[in-house]
Every structure is written in structure tokens, then in C-alpha cells.
Amino acid sequence: MLLNIGQKAPEFSLVSSDGDTVKLSDFAGRNYVVLIFYPGDETPGCTKQLCAVRDDFAKFQAKNARVFGVNPADVASHKKFINNHGFKFPLLVDTDQKTAKLYGCDKFPYVRRTVYVIDPQGTIVFAQQGMPSDDEILAAIPGPP
């Protein structure tokens, strides 16, 4: 079940495509966090969704947002996906879908396509399943358009 706007976002700790560990608490008090849960690397819908974010990446940066894609694929798959499409943001490895489950978007064997925006205080300010437009996502984050 989708988490609610206004709810505290669950803490997570995942390995990124860069090989470092990313935790929600790393951004506390500093950044908005955009989590894009998606089913698979190199699938048509996922590629379209993440390429749109790539193309609007400067808008996310202007709003002090850190963007992460999340799915069960391993680091090698994520690196290949990034290299093939020039993503400017890391992808997080959620092999056991533990984080997807915390965020209500696990659906074994896939991840349910879901986008969350979490404010610097750790509160969910946007939650939508499917493929919301970047404009919808960005509208949830205060700052320049």
C-alpha cells in the first residue's frame, strides 16, 4: 500500500551504482529526496521514465533535490543502464525488495512503479504510483520552477 503524504518516510540504507551506501538520513535537513521505484533496467517504460528525469535533471538540482532510481537489479546492471542512457543520478540496489516493501511498492518478482518526494525533514510530500510527469514531481518541491 502506498505511503501517505505527511507521513514520515522510512529510513533505508542501500548500495548505489557508484558503490557507496546511501541512507535517507544522509540528506536530513539538507536536501529533498526523489525516490523512483521502477521494475527493471532497460525496459521500455522504465527507460522512458528515467530518461525524462535525466532530461530535466537541472530542474531537480535547482530545487535542491537528490534523485535516485531504485529496483532489485545489481550494481553491474545499474552501471550498464546508466552508461547506455547518460543518467546523471545514481541507481540504488534493493535486491531483496526490503526498501520497496517499506515504501509499499513491492510486488514480487517486480517492483511497482512509484515515485516519492521526501522533504529535508523526512516527510513524504509527494507519493504517486505509475509514471507521473516531471512537472508533477517538481511541483511538490518548493523553489524555482
Which pLDDT band holds residue 143 (cuts at 50, 70, 90)?
confident
pLDDT tens sequence across 11-39:
999 999 999 999 999 999 999 999 999 99
Tell me the domain boundaries of the chain.
Answer: 30-131
Residues in CB range of 53: below 8 A, 6 or more apart: 34, 36, 60, 67, 87, 89, 134
pLDDT tens sequence across 73-130:
999 999 999 999 999 999 999 999 999 999 999 887 789 999 999 999 999 999 999 9
pLDDT tens sequence across 44-60:
999 999 999 999 999 99
At the fourth CATH level, which superfamily is domain 30-131?
Glutaredoxin (3.40.30.10)
- Catalytically active residues, by annotation: 46
